[in-house]
Amino acid sequence: YLVVALSTDEFNWNEKQKKCYFEYDKRKQLLEAIRYVDLVIPENSWEQKVSDIREFKIDKFVIGDDWATKFDFIEDETDAEVIYLPRTPEISTTQIKKDLEAK
């Protein structure tokens, strides 16, 4: 069962100063269309990760390796294993945004 936490537009702006190309509802819809995704939940704060892991009985917390070590505390506070996956080098949201602006 795959649960995806998707940052809300407000969280992206308030915490990361990032404006999303697609609004939350559209991004959620795109994720829900992936057959492997069972549930998409809103991410409103950094602090909710532990409570979400407990609520949804998550056994593996997976995030990009650009966050390496930043979420190690999750293993101490929950039963979930933290896995940092390498980013796909040829896929960059930043580059996609730049390409779209150039058109």
Residue 100: partners with Cβ closer than 8 Å, 6 or more residues away: 21
Distance of CA 68 to the CA centre of its chain: 14
Higher pLDDT, 44 or 94: 44
What are the Cα distances from residue 78, in Å, to 51, 52, 68, 75, 81?
9, 10, 18, 5, 8
Averaged pLDDT, 54-65: 96
Confidence at residue 34, expressed as pLDDT on a 0 to 100 scale: 97
Q: What is the pLDDT of residues 1-53, one digit of tens each?
A: 999 999 999 998 988 777 888 899 999 999 999 999 999 999 999 899 999 99
> Which domains can be identified in the chain, with CATH numbers?
3-102 (3.40.50.620)
Higher pLDDT pick, 80 / 94: 80
Active site residues: 16, 18
